[in-house]
Structure 1
Amino acid sequence: MTSVVFMGTPDFSVPILKMLYEEGYKIQTVVTQPDRPVGRKHVLTPTPVKAAAVELGLPVIQPERLKGSQELQQIIALNPDLIVTAAFGQILPKELLDTPRLGCINVHASLLPAYRGGAPIHQAVIDGQKETGVTIMYMAEKLDAGDIIAQQAIAIEEEDYTGLLFDKLSIIGRDLLKNTLPSIIDGTNRRIPQDESKVSFAHNISREQERIDWTKSNIDIYNQIRGLHPWPIAYTTLDGQNVKVWWAKKSTVTHHEKPGTVIGISKKFFTVATGDGQAIDIVDLQPAGKKRMEAVNYLNGVGSKLQIGDHFE
């Protein structure tokens, strides 16, 4: 029976862990990020992978930082046949990469060599890509630079957003890994070096990337909003207060107003001018200090004073 150490953190990783368990692989331990405080009350909360591992009765290791840690030596001492990672969130030290006889493989949510890094799904949507996918790859010391074992593509639909694609790609990754593992174990899998001339990166989303620049086109802003939904959420500023924009739609309205200007108010949404002479309809938002709400509730409540000509910065 092939022994495996699984390393992952978010919801994306959970179906992959459960597949390994259901397929009968010997999971020696699950490695995930430490519990973190969540919400306004800062409730210490386990990662989705830890919660799933506990439910399955699997041991869990939660290193704050792998390199040079006691937890690293614990994992090495297990001497697993294979290490499988999926959105773990930390770089694996070389001594760990060299430990398993079958190597360390990663389930990465992009069609490598495109979008190496920690936010490949977010960035693909923000960039308006029409396609993304999953890559099963060998891990190397360089970030997401290992040889490709298998890939599967998926279209990015007009209404797709990051959270929905996370769910879709998680299932694709689970199934692709399930079908690929037998060839990895018996040594018949392919191993394709990445084309370095085609490399692009998707680093973790910065605060600056969350801010809406109304001088951009309506399609760019729409892609930004859906690319940051449901986390970390795009935002703009009105009267010096941040407003999170949870969802919006491309408007058919055209204008000659300054970008960021409110150019229309209806019962269910309000329309903001973009830099290409077009506009965005805001349908779901969260004013500073308030809960998320539909635009209809905003316009009937805290946003009742919003007027045509008001300006989002």
Structure 2
Amino acid sequence: MRIIFMGTPDFAVPILKYLLCSSELVSESHVVAAYTQPDKQAGRGRRVIMPPVKRLAMENSILVIQPETLKSTKILEEMAGLRPELVVVAAYGHILPQAILSLPKFGCLNVHPSLLPRHRGPSPVANAILCGDESTGVTIMLMDAGMDSGPILAQRKVNISPEDTTGVLTSRLAKVGGELLLETLPKWTSGKLEPRPQDEREATYSKPISKNDAEIDWHLPAMKLWLRLRAYNPWPGCHTLWKGKRLRVLAAVALSDVVKGRVGEVVALPKGISAQVGVVTGEGILGLCQIQLEGKRQMSVKEFVLGQRDFIGSILSSLV
């Protein structure tokens, strides 16, 4: 079976790795091409960065195709010329036109890191954390023209721990997604699976994440800020201002009003609490654990305070 893989970020890499092993489960299957986003320039030197999927594909001598758009006739003809019988998509980054969805015999399968119809859209992992969900999961679905609205072939639940960040949880979901894909492919291609329509009444949507989302508003409740810290880690990383410099909050805990103070004030916390220093929020205290001042290395708050005695008692402000 001829397979085209479409994916771009780190989440897609383990899934492609599992797919490369699919020949053991699906007779004569092989990946004939990997579609991924174009290389980007980053950093002051404008260094060219290739997508993680491209790197893995090249290591396995797989044809790499990086179109700017999927809507051109040339791209559609090129894909048709590859004669795919199945397309597997994992965080590709472009909506697939109907001409591609209709091309392969076994359709286009999407590995989506949520339990659809919950958390459709571009940021499902971060959104699950932002919502305070205790669990999420992976869905293998047959793609249609909608936004993550296609019928479901398989799902697997994954618990969310209080320590999980988007980065950590995404890595775990990618592994589960790869395993679930391998289990699903032979059942789907042999006609043993019946797609199950999604319940539109249960659908929720995630939005794209921007740098502005990670600016800390200390008037929000500590619990909401704690969820944001985890959801926006590793990118864009929650931050505030101290002495005119950006201060990243890397790890924290949400606490009750154990001490009083002004919103945004850095306060010392009583002994016996899981953090020694906190910030007064609109509701409760956000106990600080790991921080990083602009231009400095990350460190524990205890270590930071030893070198910055005036930190306690200061007022942290928003970047806006």
**Residue 11 of structure 1 aligns with which residue?**
10
The CA deviation at 1:249 is 2.2
Q: Give the letter aligned to residue 312 of structure 2.
A: Q
Structure 2 residue 311 is the aligned partner of structure 1 residue 306:
yes
Q: Deviations over 1:37-82 (max 9, x none)?
A: 2344332111111111111111100112222263343112212000
SS at match of 2:11: helix
> 1:283·1:294 contact (CA, 8 Å) conserved in 2?
yes
**Which aligned pairs between 1:114-193 and structure 2 lie closer than 5 A?**
114-193=118-197
Count of aligned residue pairs for this structure pair: 310
Matched ranges for 1:280-295 at <5 A: 280-295=286-301
Tell me how far 1:220 sits from its aligned partner: 1.2
Match of 1:11, SS state, is coil
1:234-288 deviation line (CA, Å, top 9, x unaligned): 122334443222222234662332221111279x863101211x21122222333
C-alpha distance in 2 between matches for 1:293 and 1:40 = 26
Q: Residues of 2 paired with 1:173 and 1:155: CA distance?
A: 14
Query: What's 2:26 paired with?
Result: none
Q: Which residue of 1 aligns with 2:20?
A: 21
Counterpart Cα distance in 1 of 2:144 and 2:114: 17
Cα distance in 2, alignment partners of residues 179 and 196 from structure 1: 26
Q: TM-score, normalised by structure 1?
A: 0.92
Distance in 2 (CA, whole Å) between partners of 1:10 and 1:177 is: 18
The amino acid that maps onto 1:20 is: L
- Whether the aligned pair in 2 keeps the contact of 1:34 and 1:47 (CA below 8 Å) is yes
SS in 1 for 2:20: helix
1:81–1:102 Cα contact (<8 Å) kept: yes
2:280 is equivalent to residue 273 of structure 1: yes
CA, structure 1 residues 225+188, in 2 after alignment: closer, same or farther (shift >3 Å)? same
Letter aligned with residue 4 of structure 2: V
Q: CA deviation at 1:23?
A: 2.3
Q: Percent identity?
A: 36
Tell me the distance in 2 between the aligned counterparts of 1:156 and 1:63.
35
Partner SS state of residue 177, structure 1 = helix
Aligned partners of 1:138 and 1:147 also within 8 Å: yes
Shift, 1:11, TM fit: 1.3
Q: Name the SS for the 2:218 alignment partner.
A: coil
Letter matched to residue 138 of structure 2: V
Deviation at 1:133, TM superposition (A): 0.2
TM-score in terms of structure 2 length: 0.90
The DSSP-based 3-state class of the residue aligned with 2:174 is: helix
Q: Which structure 1 residue ranges, 5 or more long, are not aligned?
A: none
Q: Is the 8 A contact 1:258 1:275 kept in 2?
A: no
Deviations 1:187-234 (A, max 9, x none): 221211111111111121133321222122222111110111112211
| Letter of the structure 2 residue corresponding to residue 312 of structure 1 | S
Give the alignment of 1:251-270 within 5 angstroms.
251=255, 254-264=258-268, 270=277
Distance in structure 1 (CA, Å) of the matches to 2:233 and 2:50:
22
SS across alignment from 2:157: strand
The aligned counterpart of 1:195 is: 199
Give, as a single letter, the amino acid of the residue that structure 1 aligns with 2:57.
A
Does the aligned pair in 2 maintain the 1:162–1:229 contact within 8 Å?
yes
- Matching residue's letter, 2:191: G
- Equivalent residue in structure 1 for 2:246, among 238, 242, 250: 242
Partner of 1:57: 61
Distance, in Å, in 1 between the alignment partners of 2:222 and 2:259 is: 12
Separation in structure 1 between the aligned mates of residue 122 and residue 276 of structure 2, nearest angstrom:
34
Q: Displacement of 1:16 after TM fit?
A: 1.2
